[in-house]
A and B are shown apart, each in its own frame.
Chain A
Amino acid sequence: EAGVSPPALPRSPQRLKAAVHYTVGCLCREVEEDKDVQFSKQSIAAIAEITFRQCGTAGLPGECFLVLCRHAKRTTVTTEDVKLLARRSNSLLKYITQKSEELASSNTEKKKKKSSAAKGERTEDQEADVTENEDSNMA
């Protein structure tokens, strides 16, 4: 399949697989230390393969995302869609929801800083350029 991937994809499946393999290796090494065991190369490769497939049509998201998005008339997958994937396990759902909230609150922090700078713009000082208003930009 090498070299036959559509031009839209920046990376070949092979290189993506290698990236997954690398991260899986890192994670397995953590578990090795944690549990005081050793993973054979084959088992790490197998986990990497399975993880790679989980992203495909047979696994976690794949066509599910497309169906969800089309139903909601969207073309962009959101965190709500990802959360749906975690619904089979209560603890997993709780964990992912928590992470999602952490993301949302860190985004709100960033937006607050941006919008207080913008509000500075809208006061009497109608400046042509966007400048940071240091007074209102306090967390």
Chain B
Amino acid sequence: MEERGAGGFRKDTVDRLLRLHFRDARTRVNADAQLLMAELLKVFVREAAARAARQAQAEDLEKVDTEQLEKVLPQLLLDF
């Protein structure tokens, strides 16, 4: 698995993101878990974008704005 695929999160960015929120500084994330997490985040972003795009199309809009995102967000967060 590449460290950064075509449009993907960098392994170390993911690591720092996670550790930013760990109050216990001893908790670490192993390399594979970082890569897997990067995949998960990539899927999340793509899903958010795709659902918002679909919403815009349903509303006959060419541009996706925060309104469309707001509409699809609740279900997205539940599904994830």
On A, residues with C-beta under 8 Å from B are 6, 8-11, 13, 16, 19-20, 23-24, 26-32, 34-35, 37-40, 42-43, 46-47, 50-52, 54-57, 60-62, 65-66, 69, 75-79, 81-83, 85-86, 88-89, 92, 95-96, 99-100, 102-104, 106-107
- SS class of chain A's interface: helix, strand, loop or mixed? helix
Q: Which residues of A contact B45 (CB under 8 A)?
A: 23-24, 27-28, 47, 51
A43, B20: Cβ atoms under 8 Å? Answer: no
Residues of A within 8 A of B7 (CB): 23, 26-27, 29-30
Are B49 and A27 within 8 A (Cβ)? yes
Residues of B within 8 A of A28 (CB): 45, 49
The smallest C-beta distance from B11 to any residue of chain A, in angstroms, reads 12
Q: Which residue of A lies closest to B65 (CB)?
A: A40
Interface range for B: 35 or more
Query: Chain B contacts of A85 at CB under 8 A?
Result: 40
Residues on A with beta carbons closer than 8 Å to the beta carbon of B21: 55-57, 61-62
Known: A54-B44, A77-B30, A79-B33. A106 touches B1 (CB 8 A): yes
